[in-house]
Amino acid sequence: MLDIRVGNGFDVHAFAEGNEITLCGLKIPFSKKLLGHSDADVGLHAITDALYGAIASGDIGTHFPPSDNAWKNVASEVFLKHAVQLVEELGFKINNIDCTIICEQPKIGPLSNQMKTSVSKIMDLDINRISLKATTSEKLGFTGREEGIAALATATVCKFE
Ligand code: MG
C-alpha cells in the first residue's frame, strides 16, 4: 500500500531595523531585518513545519523551543535538516514541497530560482520537486503594511508499506 501524507506549515516574522533578511536560506540585502529567536527565516520555518505536519511529529517549537538559548541566532537550515532526517527515519520519502511567500517587499520573483536552489541543497531534494511562489496581500493587513513577511508551505511525503 502506498502511504501518502500531506502536511502544512505557516509562519510569520516581523520586520525591524536592519539591512539584510534570510529567506529560504538565501541572504538578501534589504532595508530591514526579520525579528526572531533564530535567523527568522520565515520560508524555511514554514517548510520545516509542513514536514513535521506530514509525519505528525509536532512542530518547530516542540523540537527547538525558543526558550532554549542553544537555538538563538541559529541558521534555520538546522531545523529543516532535522525535519528531513525525521521524515527519512520514519521510512518516508519527500515527494514535493510547495511554498508561498506573502509580502510586498522584497520582490521575490527575481530571487525565486536562487531560493529554490538553496532549499534544494539544504534538503538534498531535486529542484523540480520544489515550488516557490510569491504573492502580496494587496496592501491589506500586516504584510500589506510591510510590517513583516508570512509564509505558507505544503509538503507531501510517501512510503510503500
Ligand atoms: Mg518562525
Place of cell 500586516: 142
Q: How far does residue 40's CA lie from ligand 1's centre (Å)?
A: 6
**Residue range 123-150: mean pLDDT, rounded:** 97
Q: How far does residue 60's CA lie from ligand 1's centre (Å)?
A: 8
Give pLDDT, residue 68.
86
Lowest model confidence (mean pLDDT) among 20-24, 65-69, 98-102 = 65-69
Give pLDDT tens digits for 19-49.
Answer: 999 999 999 999 999 999 889 999 999 999 9
Q: Report the percent of the chain where pLDDT is more than 70.
A: 100
Q: How far does residue 151's CA lie from ligand 1's centre (Å)?
A: 9
Q: How far does residue 3's CA lie from ligand 1's centre (Å)?
A: 29
For residue 131, the SS3 value is strand
**Residue range 120-138: mean pLDDT, rounded:** 98
Give pLDDT, residue 127.
98
**Residues 6+ positions from 45 with CB-CB distance below 8 Å:** 9, 11, 13, 60, 76, 79, 151
Give pLDDT, residue 149.
98
Give pLDDT tens digits for 54-63.
Answer: 999 999 999 9
Q: How far does residue 7's CA lie from ligand 1's centre (Å)?
A: 16
**Gyration radius (Cα) of the chain, Å:** 15
Q: How far does residue 110's CA lie from ligand 1's centre (Å)?
A: 23
Q: How far does residue 161's CA lie from ligand 1's centre (Å)?
A: 34
**DSSP structural state of residue 68:** -
